[in-house]
């Protein structure tokens, strides 16, 4: 593979810096802490690291409210600390992807302070401002992801400003040419510092409808299906036709791609849209815009074989039309951990954890692994009095927020605060995580961590799993069956997504791929029946190609 295409089929390890490793005892993870643990990520076998925001911020949304794009927030360290992290990562063969939030800033950003000061200053139109309706109500019916209206009244300008997320996160006005140029300058700053790529947060929120038209109500099936938010959040009750995913964004993404290409930097876009596949296909059109994109399609509570096939197959067909590329994830910093979310309420079971990781790493596209997923960490239970997430506080108790997946990484079973920090952590270390600490799993050849390392190493030797085409076969629940192939070779993967044995009639005999780590599956003679144990998997190639 061309070295510039390293991202195709890459495994990207997401680090949430507040919770990865604390180096100075203040209870908050930081850049030197990440640097001290890079060998763990390199030893896992990841290709790249995506670091969630570490820029200067008042931390209303824990870094996703940026007040200075070019400064490291003091709680995370300094620019020199970042440079040392980058140099060490490159020395270990790891790429560094940083999280850039271009759709909005903090209300503490100097740009917003100037913009809100008057209606005629140089940055007056750098944010989305609009007059009230005649009765004083907001300009449109648009809603915030975090609840309530997406419009906030500002008494200085006597206008409303748009915020798709918290009121402290005003949306930038991408219809303003000067603003677009300024943002490209912020991206260029980090390109010149040597980063290998960017994960662009909420990148389909970068334009709004200039006519400020109201969103229509959502269809019932859309509310109950794949969504960027829970069905009990009123945000899910609208079709978001006008507050995001606007066609003007395509031209901006082309400008962004041109800049990135001059620095050989890669763009990974987050597409939060109820109909994400066509948007992702447009956004990643071959060579024109983003390199790859991901959505929330596998980050829901639904995990049936039919659901997985439908979501992945729909995305794959959309991407094939444009030559685009996807990135799949089953956990991240915004959703409950997969070990709990897809357990159906059952007790912890590392057979299930191994299976989900194997499924993720076998689907077409790149893969994002969230920190702790390689350990099989379950969702932590954070009591209300210790909750930090404003999203969770707003929707408690039906929704407990995102803190349960953001608790500190357990490094040492018997260490103070699990080896994460010498001070009290910003979120409590989960009691259920301590026995799953890195040191204990490193010493156990049968651990989830040992399996994760072996699986990533095995996948590196399977080029079809990195870049091959994908073709699904019909199979009854709870079985997922597909082929990865190119013009010269083919392999098939079968997964039993249940805690009960299952069998499948194959179309042709399959020779097992050497070293694929799953045992117990058997082909029953001439009947071509494949028998799989609970949470079992089978990787094979047609005998004609073996």
Given 243, 270, 389, 485, which residue is catalytic? 270
201 in active site: yes
DSSP sequence for 323-365: T--BEEES--TTS--HHHHTTTTPPP-HHHHHHHHHHHTTSSS
Peptide bond into 530 cis (omega under 30): no
Question: Residues for the chain: how many in total?
Answer: 546
* Backbone φ, ψ for residue 369 (5° rounding): -110, 125
Residue 48: name the closest of 83, 7, 17, 8 by CA. 7
Token code pair at residue 306: 């039919």
Contact yes or no for 388/427 (Cβ under 8 A): yes
- The conformation of residue 366, written as its DSSP 8-state character, comes to E
- The conformation of residue 204, written as its DSSP 8-state character, comes to G
Distance CA 165, CA 162 (A): 9
Token code pair at residue 143: 């809603």
Q: What SS3 state is found at 269?
A: strand
Contact yes or no for 234/195 (Cβ under 8 A): no
Token code pair at residue 477: 């629940």
Contact yes or no for 363/11 (Cβ under 8 A): no
Residue 391: name the closest of 204, 144, 75 by CA. 144
**Alpha carbon separation from 290 to 121, 263, 296, 367, 453 (Å, rounded):** 33, 14, 17, 16, 29
Given 22, 81, 171, 201, which residue is catalytic? 201
> What does the CA dihedral 66, 70, 74, 76 come to, rounded to 10 degrees?
80
Q: What SS3 state is found at 16?
A: coil
Element (H, E) at 491: strand 490-496
Q: How much of the chain is helix, strand and coil, in % rounded to 5?
A: 30, 20, 50
Distance CA 392, CA 126 (A): 30
Residue 539: name the closest of 490, 478, 500, 474 by CA. 490
**Alpha carbon separation from 501 to 275, 496, 504 (Å, rounded):** 35, 8, 11
Cβ count near 193 (within 10 Å): 15
- Contact residues for 303 (Cβ-Cβ < 8 A; gap 6+): 341, 342, 497
| β-bridge mates for residue 512, sequence order | 540
Positions annotated as catalytic residues are: 201, 270
């Amino acid at each position: 593979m061309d070295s510039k295409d390293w991202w195709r089929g890459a495994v990207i390890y997401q680090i949430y810096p507040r919770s990865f490793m604390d180096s100075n005892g203040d209870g908050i993870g930081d850049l030197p802490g990440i640097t001290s643990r890079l060998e763990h990520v390199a030893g896992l076998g990841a290709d790249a690291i995506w670091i969630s925001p570490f820029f200067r911020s008042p931390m209303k949304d824990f870094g996703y409210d940026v007040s200075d794009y070019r400064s490291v927030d003091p709680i995370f360290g300094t620019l020199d600390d970042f440079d040392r992290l980058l140099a060490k990562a490159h020395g270990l063969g790891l790429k560094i992807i940083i999280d850039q939030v271009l759709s909005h800033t903090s209300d503490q950003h100097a740009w917003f302070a100037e913009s809100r000061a008057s209606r005629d200053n140089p940055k007056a139109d750098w944010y989305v401002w609009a007059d009230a309706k005649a009765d004083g109500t907001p300009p449109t019916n648009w809603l915030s992801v975090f609840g309530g209206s997406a419009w906030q009244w500002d008494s200085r300008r006597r206008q409303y400003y748009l915020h798709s997320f918290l009121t402290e996160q005003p949306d930038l006005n991408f219809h303003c040419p000067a603003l677009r140029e300024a943002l490209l300058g912020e991206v260029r700053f980090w390109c010149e510092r040597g980063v290998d790529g960017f994960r662009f947060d909420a990148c389909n929120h970068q334009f709004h409808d200039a006519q400020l038209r109201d969103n229509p109500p959502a269809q019932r099936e859309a509310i109950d299906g794949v969504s960027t938010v829970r069905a009990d959040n009123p945000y899910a009750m609208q079709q978001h036709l006008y507050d995001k995913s606007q066609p003007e964004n395509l031209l901006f993404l082309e400008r962004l791609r041109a800049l990135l290409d001059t620095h050989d930097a890669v763009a990974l876009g987050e597409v939060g849209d109820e109909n994400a596949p066509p948007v992702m296909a447009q956004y990643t059109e071959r060579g024109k815009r983003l390199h790859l994109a991901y959505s929330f399609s596998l980050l829901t509570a639904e995990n049936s074989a039919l659901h997985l096939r439908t979501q992945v197959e729909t995305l794959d067909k959309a991407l094939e039309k444009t030559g685009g590329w996807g990135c799949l994830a089953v956990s991240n910093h915004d959703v409950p951990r997969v070990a709990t979310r897809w357990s159906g309420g059952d007790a912890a079971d590392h057979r299930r954890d191994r299976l989900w990781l194997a499924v993720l790493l076998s689907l077409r596209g790149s893969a994002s692994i969230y920190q702790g997923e390689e350990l099989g960490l379950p969702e932590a239970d954070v009591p209300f009095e210790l909750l930090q997430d404003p999203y969770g506080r707003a929707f408690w108790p039906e929704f407990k927020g995102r803190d349960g997946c953001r608790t500190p990484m357990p490094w040492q079973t018997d260490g103070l605060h699990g080896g994460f920090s010498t001070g009290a952590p910003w979120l409590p270390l989960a009691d259920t995580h301590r026995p799953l600490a890195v040191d204990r799993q490193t010493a156990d050849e049968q651990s989830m961590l040992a399996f994760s390392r072996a699986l990533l190493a095995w996948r590196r030797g399977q080029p079809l799993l990195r870049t091959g085409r994908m073709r699904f076969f019909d199979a009854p629940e709870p079985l997922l069956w597909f082929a990865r192939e190119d013009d010269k070779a083919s392999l098939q993967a079968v997964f039993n997504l249940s805690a009960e044995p299952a069998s499948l009639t194959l179309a042709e005999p399959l020779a097992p791929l050497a070293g694929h780590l799953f045992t117990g599956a058997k082909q029953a003679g001439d009947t071509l029946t494949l028998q799989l144990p609970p949470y079992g998997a089978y990787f094979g190639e047609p005998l004609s190609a073996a």
